[in-house]
Amino acid sequence: MAATNASDAVEPDQTMSETVMVGKFYGVGLGPGDPELMTLRAHRLISNAAVVAYPALAGAESFARAIAADVITQGAREIVMDVPMTVERAPAQAAYDKGAEEIASALEAGQDVICLCEGDPFFYGSFMYLFMRLSDRYEVEVVPGVTSITTCAARAGMPLVARNERLTVLPGPLPEDELRTRIEGAESVAIMKVGRHLAKIRSVIDKLGFADKAMYVERASLPDEVVLPLREAPEKAPYFSMILLTKGADPWL
């Protein structure tokens, strides 16, 4: 048997001690707000997490963290991404750049990172911006969550689609003309991000003659939830509000 060159020999214990496993990145959907609407998998991952990350409006508390507050373990490291709410995209992108760097540092140190996501990570979720920055370098698992659309429909007692009907999802900030065109051609509609656009949206629906078929829901599943016919909705709406409109046939017939 040939002798092993001493310079090539590596002690097994030394190899193991110098090898650091890279952590895994999880995007965990929390649901619409009620902590009891978190999935069992989301609850388990968060409760065992050594590192959690989440977005927060700059200068304000994080809604995502508030949902999971009772599940986060004491002593867990928290990576907070302060995201400014501005029309310009650059400040928010810079916040996600910084957050991705901090998350990558934890992953490189062998720590799994749980990113808390309101609703579902891939449905209008800010997690997708982190996913685009990190998924080509690290293992990522997306844990789906209960969406605000299905929650609002449940709270309003309003079936959205039946048989071969189509559901159209529209963001409230769309221009008035485009909203009108898309609602006209739809069968069932969920309009999200209502907020300061409520008056415009209500006017479009009223002019189309569908006001009696529309429901308004704000802060679905939370203690201060509001569910009303659109005609009775308040003059002002929070960001977390939605309008549901069904124009199809009665699903029970």
Query: How does pLDDT run across 64-103, given as a tens digit for each residue?
Result: 999 999 999 999 999 999 988 776 778 889 999 999 999 9
Task: Give 239-253 pLDDT, tens digit per residue.
Answer: 899 999 998 655 443
Confidence (pLDDT) at 246: 94
The per-residue pLDDT for 4 is: 46
Q: Which residues of the chain have pLDDT under 70?
A: 1-19, 87, 248-253
Evaluate whether 77 touches 52 at the Cβ level (below 8 Å): yes
pLDDT recorded at residue 8: 47
- What local confidence, expressed as pLDDT, does residue 247 receive? 85
What is the pLDDT at residue 18?
57
Which pTM does this prediction carry?
A: 0.86
Residue ranges and CATH numbers for the domains of the chain are 21-143 (3.40.1010.10), 148-246 (3.30.950.10)
